[in-house]
Amino acid sequence: MSPDATPDPYTDPLVFGQRMQILRTRRGLTRIQLGGLVGRSGEWVKAVETGRLRVPKLEMILRVAEVLRVRDLSDLTGDQSMRVALFTGPGHPRFAAVREAVNSPHLAGDREAPPAAHFSARLARAWSARHSAPNHREVVGALLPDLIRDAQAAVRHAGTIADRKAAQARLAEVYFLAQFFCAYQPDASLVWRVAERGMMAAQDSEDPHAIGLAAWLTVQAHRDSAHLDAADAVTLETLRYLEALLPDAGPDVRAVAGALTVEAGLTAARRGETGTAWRYWDEARGLAEGLPAGYFHPVTSFSRAVIGAHAVTVAVELHAGPESARQAARAEAEAIPSRPRRARHRIEQARGYHLDAQPDAALATLAQAYAAAPETVQYNGYAKRIVLEETESKSPARRRRASELAQRIGLLTT
């Protein structure tokens, strides 16, 4: 390796501080920014990176790992005995079949296209199963391979331009479902392939609803990869496109605009821009209040019931401890009809309580998340960080509760 080359924290035997510096640089964060996000100063970050301070305790290591979106804890620590996947799961048993269906070109034209109404009904049932099944990844993973192949066949066999556009919209929706399944699986590049194919199919459909959804999912992929400028560019351009249509749009398009407005606020919160983040959330609340009572978007979950959950996430992303706890206490989870979305909300509430130094409330809330949708907790890095941290608690009772939950979600073996 050239003496001027950047060391690779994944292969070279580096100490903790060097690994943290490399990973921080790759995320595009300054020392001051990283310090602020973990509750320390830029000078503290510099002292750790240069070795003037010792390796932090597990609590701080996990906090740094969360901010840097470290997928495996050993990538940061260098200690192979600490191999804990945080932002990727162990790989779902259905993942290989879904990946094969996504990657295969399906060039043969001998697959018969299903009737459009029949396929739409199957797709609707798949979304319903995603929201209602506690093991939603298992159910969706079993359905996706055939849905992908049949949706592609429908595009190939479309007889008219109108039929082809409608088929492209259905194919885009299948890719949206696939992106939910592929998230947090051990193949980050597949998430991007699915997102890009969903966007291409949506654009070919010329359907505003599909285009908005494709942008919504692409924004999340950008933000999870720390591409905040790209996330903003997609969000704002798509919102400009949708805003011209809103006066005559139905609730689905208005809900997607609301979901994208939330994403703009979350990206601002990730940057630490408090006023901008809450301004976008307030705009989204206005859009939610304009939706019919009881309405719930089948893909984004945007609704009146979820807008309070978004407030929790904004406060948590801003690392505002007391405000996070206040929003967590206010936001009612039981009104959210989707099991995985309800579980995700519980995880965000737990993050808020943990930020506010209420670890017992955080663990109790994570237990509620697990009861709603175990697979959501098993594949969520924030939940795993909190549980791991509390397995080192000085309180024997809390340590026991955290260890029991860690065993249930697969972090510890019995």
Contact assessment for residue 366 and residue 383, using Cβ atoms and an 8 Å cutoff: yes
pLDDT at 368 over 80: yes
Q: How much of the chain is in helix, strand and coil states, percent to nearest 5?
A: 70, 0, 30
* pLDDT higher than threshold 50 for residue 4: no
Q: Which domains does the chain have, with CATH numbers?
A: 16-82 (1.10.260.40), 90-204 (no CATH)
Over the stretch 145-172, which tens digit does the pLDDT of each residue have?
999 999 999 999 999 999 999 999 999 9
Q: Which stretch of 27-31, 81-85, 230-234, 359-363 has the lowest confidence by average pLDDT?
A: 81-85
For the beta carbon of residue 93, count every other beta carbon within 10 angstroms: 11
Residue with tokens 């749009």: 249
Q: Is the pTM of this model over 0.75?
A: yes
Two tokens, residue 26: 């790759």
> How many CB atoms are closer than 10 A to CB 163?
15
Amino acid at site 19: R
pLDDT score for 136: 94
Q: What angle do CA 373, 219, 365 make, to 5 degrees?
A: 25
User: For residue 277, which of 310, 321, 314, 304 has the smallest C-alpha distance?
Assistant: 314
Q: What is the pLDDT of residue 140?
A: 96
Cα gap 250→353, rounded to integer Å: 37
- Looking at residue 72, its pLDDT comes to 79
Sign of the Cα torsion 336, 340, 343, 348 reads: negative
Which range is least confidently modeled, 67-76, 118-127, 389-398? 67-76
- Cβ atoms of 316 and 351 within 8 Å: the answer is yes
